Amino acid sequence: MAEFGFALHATDGGARRGTVTTGRGAIATPAFMPVGTAGTVKGLYLDQVKDAGADIILGNTYHLMLRPGAERIDRLGGLHRFIGWDRPILTDSGGFQVMSLSALRQMSEEGVTFKSHVDGAIHEMSPERSIEIQGLLGSDIQMQLDECVALPADADTMKAAMELSLRWAERCRVAFGDQPGKAMFGIVQGGDDESLREQSARALTAMDLKGYSIGGLAVGEPQEVMLAMLDVVCPILPAEKPRYLMGVGTPQDLLRSVARGVDMFDCVMPTRSGRHGLAFTRRGRVNLKNARHAEDHRPLDDQMACPASRDYSRAYLHHLIRSGEMLGMMLLSWHNTFYYQWLMREMRSAIEQGRFAAFAAETEAVWEQGDIEAL
């Protein structure tokens, strides 16, 4: 089995082109991970996700813990076999639900006690239990349990959460041990406070983990705040380790974060937006709910290899979305997933060619101009 590692092939300004190696396969970076919360990327077959170019998907520890249960998935051969995916899987730790389900949980030094949003049952999640669950799932990259704070927040709250996350990171590191071909990433926290972010990044770097995540962003703060935190954190994190910005984001978020040295991303946006009638294209966003598409015979993008992008008219997609037809949501989710992977490939190529800044400027200029006829 291949050892877990990261090879940096090219840099262009802050942007990095690399490869993450796992025991289950390689991940070309910069990489975008489609989100398979409950063992499925919503609205898509995993063959479609693979054909779009995704090397890795994300699974959600909290939701899989509730149903069908980590022990059951383990008995069924692990998450890869359960869902029919033979490439790497990254699992989050449940830390985001500490924030998003705050009305259903209680915090302590030991961990988090959740009240299930499904059936009201009580579950305890310590750092050790989070790593145990992720091990039962069989994921290739695991996340430490952390406390994610919604922004804006007061300084004391951000400091306490950052310090607790560091203590939990150490406990997760010990619980994870040394697993061939796999990795556990620490998560930089600190809200929108530069000094807290720096303190967190330096403390995690001292733990000598196999990779580092940047969490607690895209949780309500403006984009410029997120980018400012990346400007602080990325130069501190080791250049020879992968950097993962959690829960991000829009195509523009990806482009601007790659410019600052981020290697990996995940977000529900491609599929969630697709379910709500929004398509991301090379010319910008297209809202298929708008009446102006009702008699538009053009496809979303006839230059894309994806059938959803190329073979269906905007008029038909508009009809499906306005009618609430499941097929419309599936087609737009497929298109968006394909577009995100296309964008990452284009960024990787631009970095290799030493023209990332020009590519980013050209891409944003086209987005800003937009498809006037269609938008």
| Residue 92, annotated as binding a ligand | yes
* Pair (242, 317) in one structural domain: no
Catalytic-role residue among 140, 266, 296, 301: 266
Q: Is the dihedral of CA 343, 141, 133, 157 positive or negative?
A: negative
The region of weakest confidence among 21-35, 101-115, 192-206, 249-263 is: 101-115
- Tokens representing residue 103 in the block: 């009305």
Rounded to the nearest 5 degrees, what angle is found at the Cα of 180, between the Cα atoms of 178 and 185?
60
* Pair (358, 221) in one structural domain: no
* Pair (256, 312) in one structural domain: no
Catalytic-role residue among 92, 140, 253, 296: 92
* Pair (248, 287) in one structural domain: no
| Residue 328, annotated as binding a ligand | no
| Residue 95, annotated as binding a ligand | yes
Mark whether 55 is an active-site residue.
no
Question: Domain range spanning residue 128?
Answer: 5-266
- The owner of tokens 């590191």 is 173
- Residue 374 in any domain: the answer is no
Give the residue from 217, 249, 266 where a domain finishes.
266
- What b/e readout covers 264-300, taking b as 16+ CB neighbours within 10 angstroms? bbbbebbbbbbbebbbbbbbbbbbbebeebeebeebb
Q: What is the per-residue pLDDT for 51?
A: 98
- Residue 281 in any domain: the answer is yes
Nearest in space to 30 (alpha carbons), one of 265, 215, 189: 265
* Across 358-369, average pLDDT: 95
* Across 182-210, average pLDDT: 98
**Residues 128, 112: contact at Cβ < 8 Å?**
no
* Pair (226, 302) in one structural domain: no
Nearest in space to 316 (alpha carbons), one of 339, 338, 299: 299
Mark whether 86 is an active-site residue.
no
| Total-model pTM | 0.96
| Residue 179, annotated as binding a ligand | no
Please state, rounded to an integer, the average pLDDT across all residues of the chain: 94
Neighbours of 36 (CB within 10 A): 27
| Residue 274, annotated as binding a ligand | no
Give the residue from 266, 301, 329 where a domain finishes.
266
Query: Per-residue confidence at 375, pLDDT binned at 50, 70, 90?
Result: very low
- Residue 335 in any domain: the answer is yes
Q: What is the per-residue pLDDT for 356?
A: 98
* Pair (29, 140) in one structural domain: yes
- Residue 180 in any domain: the answer is yes
* Pair (282, 244) in one structural domain: no
* Pair (166, 147) in one structural domain: yes
Give the residue from 266, 297, 319 where a domain finishes.
266
Domain tally, the chain: 2
Nearest in space to 265 (alpha carbons), one of 256, 273, 275: 256
